[in-house]
Structure 1
């Protein structure tokens, strides 16, 4: 029960406050959602990825384990979503919206504080979560962009869109600088840190603005289907992959917990930026975050049996 109240007070309430501010700001000033979306995609997100990757410290062997886990987990999650999409007969832009709502999960502003709460501020588990966060930032900006535009644009146009996103270049730049121990000048790195620190706030405010603008006509069955796949089936598949790879200890626990978090704001930002089911995407993020108040404490309890 203690975990429930901790998650409510330290995860749900702060997120809810930021989202509420966004709703109020939209009602008062009719903020331009497209401008906020572009700030997230082209400024805040690349700065966050660059600084976290540049600062991260993790053993190469552990890094390879995490990458292998993520590849298998993401593949199984994708296969599950595709089966559900075909069974339900989902068409058009709703296919990619449903897919993104399950594949992209909140590995940053929800998962990082949750990780540090559950594991008592452990630096190792934090490094594991940061790797997952970086992967979960890269994929929406590559596969996510392709997925959401595949039904309405040709491959050349989609590739052009992806190559215009700064995060594509932020990742290799951070890796090269980190590998060769090249120091970024303080006058350059300081503003990057300021910008990356603003990512969470602007992303949550953007979600609030989107929620304030939408009609609230819930696609109830679709939203619940997404929530079940994200919050229940996702962790189950994560456990399966951990068992298949023979992972154990803190690595296994940190990875399993990372699979259980709600839908990422990335799905909303993609939906807004490319005008693809933004109301459904916003509803999924909102509802999955609320439902996680129940599912996350259950997951934390199960970690003790690993």
Structure 2
């Protein structure tokens, strides 16, 4: 009950309040969601990724093991969601929308505080979560954007050019390099980086609220619930299987499994809005998976004690 209450009070209710503010602001002022989306892609998201990677302490052995786990987990989930897509016979934009809703999960503003809660601020488990966050920042901005545009008629080279304009794909290697070489950042430069990165969560949640406020609320219940099951239940189950396959145990195994249990990422909504690819479905998935995660994440936390 303690974990349930903490997740509810520390994650779900604050997120819901911010989303509700976005809904109200849209109803009152008809905010331009495209502008909000571009701010997230080109300013706030790169800033928070840079700050977390620059300030992190990562060892090569942990980096290697975590990346191997992530690659296998991503591949396994991709195969699973492709099977579901074919069984359900999704067409057009729903294919990448469903795929993104399962493959991209909230590894930053949900998973990081969750990791700190469960492992009591352990620096080792936090380094694992930061590596996962790095990959979950890189993939939506590369593969995720490619996938929502691949089914559309047009020049694929234009899609690639769009991907190459996104700052986050350059920010990650720069942050690693500066971290590894211990290159200091002057205070007048680092202060605005802090300001911008601190605004990421609020802006992303407001964007989701604006999207929800602008929707006609034609519920896609079966599709949304199917995505929630794959993300919240199949995700940690597959993560547990990968941990067993690799022979990882102890607190590292627990941290990796927990990283797979969080709800769908806000990036799936930002991509859907920016490229007009099933934004209503994506918004409903993010909102509902965040609510249902109260129960599923609590269950996963309870089961972690059986991972030795």
Match of 1:73 in 2: 73
2:35 maps to: 35
Residue 25 of structure 1 corresponds to which residue in structure 2?
25
Q: Distance in 2 between matches of 1:118 and 1:104?
A: 22
Q: What TM-score comes out, normalization by structure 2 length?
A: 0.98
1:304 aligned partner: 305
| Structure-2 residue corresponding to 1:52 | 52
1:54-203 to 2 correspondence within 5 Å? Answer: 54-152=54-152, 153-203=154-204
**Which of 32-41 and 52-61 deviates more?**
52-61
Q: CA deviation at 1:155?
A: 2.7
Name the TM-score, length of structure 1 as normaliser. 0.98
Deviations 1:40-68 (A, max 9, x none): 00000011111111111021101100000
Q: CA deviation at 1:76?
A: 0.4
Match in the other structure for 1:263 = 264
Per-residue CA shift, 1:158-186, capped at 9, x if unaligned? 11010010111111111221222221222
Report the Cα distance in structure 2 between the residues aligned to 1:166 and 1:61, rounded to whole angstroms.
Answer: 28
User: CA RMSD, aligned part only?
Assistant: 0.8
Structure 1 residue runs without a partner (length 5+): none
Residue-pair matches, total: 306
Q: Distance in 1 between matches of 2:297 and 2:176?
A: 32
For structure 2, the residue ranges without an aligned partner over 5 or more in a row are none
1:27 CA drift (Å) = 0.7
CA distance in 2 between partners of 1:287 and 1:93 (Å): 20
More displaced 10-residue stretch of structure 1: 171-180 or 100-109:
171-180
Q: Secondary structure at the match of 2:217?
A: coil
SS of residue paired to 1:260: coil
Per-residue CA shift, 1:196-241, capped at 9, x if unaligned? 1110110001001111110111111110110010001111110010
Who is 1:242 aligned against? 243
Partners of 1:154 and 1:114 in 2: how far apart?
Answer: 41
Q: State which drifts further: 197-206 or 182-191.
A: 182-191
Q: Distance in 1 between matches of 2:137 and 2:276?
A: 20
Which residue in 1 is equivalent to 2:217?
A: 216
